[in-house]
Structure 1
């Protein structure tokens, strides 16, 4: 039986904008209020998806969320027609209004944590949407994320869907951005690594002082329990609080793993030596390639600015690995020099492919943020909703859909335009038909 790791990339929504909402995310804050291009953003993301498909990867599409979130504004007491709700919220509570317009659902690494059937007690692929409690604008996502995932993976024989964790920061969960899986083969039992920023119930333990730690130890443990993982295939490791305070808001900004490779910065973790020994012990006889990037080679500042580690690490058709990096890495002389030298070493990483995803990068997310990884065997893959899997026809159709519905430019002031809401809902309603998702958005229910 064949096993593959499928990347499901977030399709950028028609109201993609730069609101600078994410405290602790340097890129997001530095580009606040800039004019965005929803059309360019969506097409950049689609181009990356199609390129990976053409490289032989199995590639999927994950639909965006409805924004502005009118249902949440009504929950918060704004009334009248949809246009009146928009106008009143924008004038009376502009910060809340910008939050319910957030484009953040494009980063589907935060959509959920996924454990493949090879790791779970019941042999099913398990999905738990992230509650994203640390940021109000992201805490609006879990219910719709759950509906979209259930529409994509809608066969109960192979897929198990859980409700997101309790909406409380004690169980703050940011999904796959703080989770990676190492394995000798995608179909074999692997080691699931949960990286957390703080202990919610023990204030005596190390924690960042400047920026929030969004993932808790207790949340990571709860996900492992829900997914039926054993102690033999889980490792919990704390992210270095000092690196969080340098703008590393998720672990995937400072480390990335795939199969037998963990590519990470020297300052990424606490208790690195002890925890890596545990990873190797649980991984088995085959050696894990722990590829450390020292501060002398690449500073944390350069890593954050270029998203060197917020890259995709993929196993190609020839068995070697390739890094899918943003062009920002290519444009930084130190990072570009490091990557050029890395592919000459005796490691599985042999290639670097650069992609322009600047619209996402300016909002605080690189290639790794844009995708959710799901390891599947042939039978499970056949049970996935086929309409969400990338091919030439879907690529052409989604580009036509973007051309039809998306604006070339969007400013923060445009978000209160009732016409934009109508345009967005029309686009999303058509998208659910293209991807055969059924009714997943609040305006459709």
Structure 2
């Protein structure tokens, strides 16, 4: 039996172009809102006794949860059933779920670094990853409060809950993402967000087909940035009006100054279907997770305009690792810079060639991503979990044992002890030899 259970949770009230400036000036702008959101989720879930009773009475075979939401981990422990975690954002360098982590070549998921880092980048990367992991104490505070408030299993730390996940499915493709070692219980699955295009609505299809050989451009900055300010939008409209291509622009406000006849502004667009159209020539994107995977799958050149968080890393992969386009800083979003970048990508055939090569490579898979995901979910159900993929010995180690600090300290102490003993023995032998063979010198010195 399956049932959809709906929870009414107030959404995070964060959107608009001003959000970009706030996050750029304060990297921890999201933290207070995220913690409050976590508390609301905990109260909505564990405060509803009838809901919890219904969940327990159903006797589910498996729980599938997004690991970004810690309340799911607590519910997994509460129901005591096999669980499969899912990470839509790929690896986030969390010590608990994606070891082994080496900051020398694994960039922080929220940075713009590549796997090739200078000394200073490696230093900053190490400090950043360490700081984010230490900040988990604050991030976990809603969970700790909920465990006490609702009499949950307080002896179980959130870190140890991760070790009880049967599997962790990570939405990742090593064509796009930087290669790294993973444990057997972590399953990189490529193509979860890959979808074949569907036919476009009639009016939109007619507009696209009217673009001729010039094709069309897509502009979308994602859910959090549904519209640009009037000044920025007018500048973008002027640039588009000078282009031979048609433009489909997602912006909730269509009343834009200087809008050309070649531009259609819509509050929502079928982005994946547009990217899959053969006349798509360019995608101007903020490089969110879904947008990055969709443009990779369909092989469309990009102008990457990352805004915050993980988007900078995605932009660098699309631009530098795959060579699919060029990047533009939103804080340098001037008319000349925007126009020049768009024209460079449109007129340079290497970007189109690289995009098509990347698309062909990610499509060359033994199994569709959604089929692979379902295989591992069903595998966990068939085997009543799959904890045999976990290294039980490693997960029982404390942090200093995992880093071999106890072994290193013993070896270091042993070496120091041996060196000191050798020194003392040599000193004693030298004194004895000196006293025996050079008695006169010692006598003269004493006199």
Same fold, judged at TM 0.5 (above)? no
Q: Provide TM-score, normalisation by structure 1.
A: 0.24
Q: Provide TM-score, normalisation by structure 2.
A: 0.24
In terms of fraction of residues, the more helix-rich structure is 2
